[in-house]
Chain A
Amino acid sequence: MPNEQEEVFLSGNEAVAWGAWAAGISFASAYPGTPSTEILETLGTFKDLEAQWAVNEKVAYEAAFGASLAGRRALTACKHVGLNVAMDPLMTTAYSGVNGGLVVVVADDPGMHSSQNEQDTRRVAPYAKVPLLEPSSPSEAYSFIQQAFDISEEFDVPVMLRLTTRISHTKESFRTSSNREPARRELRKDPRKYVMIPAHARPRHTDLEKRLSALRALSERTSLNRMELNDRKIGFITSGVSALYAKEVYPDASFLTLGMTFPFPVDLARAFAREVETLYVIEELEPFLEEKLRQESISVTGKKPSWVCGELSPAAVRDIVEGRDRPPSAGRARRPLLCPGCPHRPAFYSLKKSGVYVTGDIGCYTLGALEPLAALHTQTCMGASIPFFEGAGKMQDGQKVVAVIGDSTFIHTGVSGLISAAYNGAKGVVIIMDNSITAMTGGQQNPATGVTLQGKETKRLSLEKLCAAAGADQVDVIDPFDIDGFRRLLELRLGQDSLSVIITRSPCKMIDRSRGPAAAIDPEKCRKCRQCLLLDCPAIIEGDDGGISVNSSLCVGCGLCRKVCKFGAISPAGGE
């Protein structure tokens, strides 16, 4: 735990956690999602508060709101697409307001380092009518989150703190402040405020508009918005990490750096505009600030439309100021791959052989869509695989459709899809690829693992019983490395007029670190049929001469390549 004025070196996510702790929070809840995951992981290390993984972002938001009702400061964190899941309670709790301070931390992912879209969550703030704070760096994240709690309580509204990948995952050295005692208010019975039936909600909407106008006045005077007048030839209006990129390239220019971007400080922006000759808006993704400035008839130079896509950088800021378009991207260096020994690999290998159409979901197993496995045909959002399977399966002509979803994603929003599919009489096969952890985000616990974020043993969810209760006609559990057994089971279930769930269960290799002897390929027996290369295992390498070998330091000895080699050319190193 930090002492007063201790020098620390923290990522933006860690800084949010430490700052929230310093602000006296008592409760935090989230579902993991890159780049936001480490916020809760770090809060989990503070033993004097309750930090927990929820099954999805809506549940996380609602649990945090419940803690706020009880008069405690509470936080929920998610990635941008996670907030979509929690939009329903967000929109209405803005009306009711809070009791203890409530802050929603949202981490956007410009550049889509690990996301399916790059939505700009700043647009949500005016839509939901909640104040929006945007730190530029970990040290600001640390202080802004503390102010966010104060604003939430003073103005009786949930506050959104927005990060981006480049802040969440950047580390900075800075000094911490002293922490506060946890705030406590009473749990309040106040139905006019917390029961949002139309008769109560109408006056709360009017009240929210009043609170917003007070927040607008705050935005005009808060130190979160900083004007720095230097060289008056060029002025920048910026927010978030873009502010630092601009400062890097134009250190002598004048800056209006906005830490509170909704409500927008119109008078402040107008005052700044009067001071400088040429005014640029520098912001990542959407022209959020630019549109506001134009709407207020403040004349600015924005960016060309090509910059709406992707991350900025110091070089990008220079290009924008000089009026250039975004240059074509250089592309990724190495493509991501399923790990050696990953239990998703044999399952996808079998699915590809069976030729079915596979509706997919969000998780490591999405990598099964890439060549040469290429055994997964859709990916949209958490929990979509089973409803996609239901609709496509009912309307297809002769092509078998199978859904694939991970254990954590099934619990997140998959189960509601299964209940709905069973209720509506869907037939076919749903495969839960159960690697017994939330793997894609780095191995978080979930209800099926029976362990909490803070490491306590807890009730363990039975996926088998859950699926049966949802209405699956059969639930089978099989080890995906038994490829013959899995193929037979899949064919059997596909041939039946029923709704089946097959749980392929084998632990993630990042959790189960056990290794068998590495595979070795006998060049005498190898016919270079390339069947083993179709597994897309990082440990199997094709040489420039077409010779195939195994990288023994990567191989974990799962034995899958031995099973698919028809010529018996692969054996464990050192013999059977």
Chain B
Amino acid sequence: MGTERKTVNVLFYGIGGQGVLTAAEVCALAAMLDGYHVKKSEVKGMAQRGGSVESYVRFGSRVYSPLPLPGESDVIVCLHEEEYARMKDQLKPQGVDLFPYLAEAAEAVGDKKLFLNTYMLGVLSSFLDIKESSWLEALARKFKKEREQNRMFFLKGRAKRTGHDI
């Protein structure tokens, strides 16, 4: 790994059935493949569908706690507009909020709602110091079905980048 890399906190949230946990898993795998130490923590509601879901991914040279301090998330990735207000306070003052991308992500995937999470991962990827090859490998490991479409929507999202690095 070499030089010390500071810990980055990413918060994924939305509702059950949207692929929130899958998106967090892909991000965590990509960071691991890129040589980071990674921890991922999640809260699943008791309802199997439609309940609130959230997951923190933390990566760096050495990550201690699975949970970050409140208001210390570098990026928040919300997948459901009704859930947005619930956790937006977790974002750092200088952090990156991907909520503005959600509407265009929904438009881009159309009725293929399945791929909303991979599109948003694409957007996220452009802000993080993780190589594209690690992202693509993580996607390939996580998605056995519809691999090509996931890759395509990921790259579409990745091309949307505006703003600054984390």
Contact = CB atoms under 8 A, between A and B. Distances in A.
A565 B52 CA distance: 30
Given A171-B28, A173-B36, A333-B86, A114 B46 contact: yes
Interface string A216-247: 00000000000000000000000001001101
B49 A340 contact: yes
Interface in B37-66: 37-52, 63-66
Contact of B37 (A173, A251, A314): A173
Given A173-B36, A245-B65, A313-B67, A336 B28 contact: no
B76 interface: no
Given A244-B64, A333-B83, A339-B47, A170 B69 contact: no
22 contacts: A170-B39, A170-B41, A170-B66, A171-B28, A171-B39, A172-B38, A172-B40, A247-B64, A248-B64, A248-B68, A314-B67, A315-B69, A332-B45, A333-B52, A334-B15, A334-B45, A334-B51, A334-B52, A337-B47, A337-B51, A339-B47, A538-B47
Interface residues of B, number: 33
Given A114-B46, A538-B49, A314 B41 contact: no
B70 interface: yes
Interface of A: 7, 9, 113-114, 137, 166, 169-173, 241, 244-245, 247-249, 251, 313-315, 318, 332-337, 339-340, 367, 510, 538, 554
Given A169-B41, A332-B52, 11 more contacts: A113-B43, A166-B67, A171-B25, A172-B37, A241-B66, A247-B65, A249-B69, A314-B65, A333-B45, A334-B51, A340-B49
Contacts of B31: 173
A417 B64 CA distance: 47
Contacts of B29: 9
B47 A334 contact: yes
B130 interface: no
A11 B109 CA distance: 31
Contacts of A510: 48
Nearest to B82: A334
Interface string B19-42: 000000100110110001111111
A113 B126 CA distance: 34
Contact of B45 (A171, A241, A336, A340): A336
Question: Which of B25, B49, B65, B69 has the most A CB atoms < 10 Å from its CB?
Answer: B65
Contact of B70 (A7, A315, A333): A315
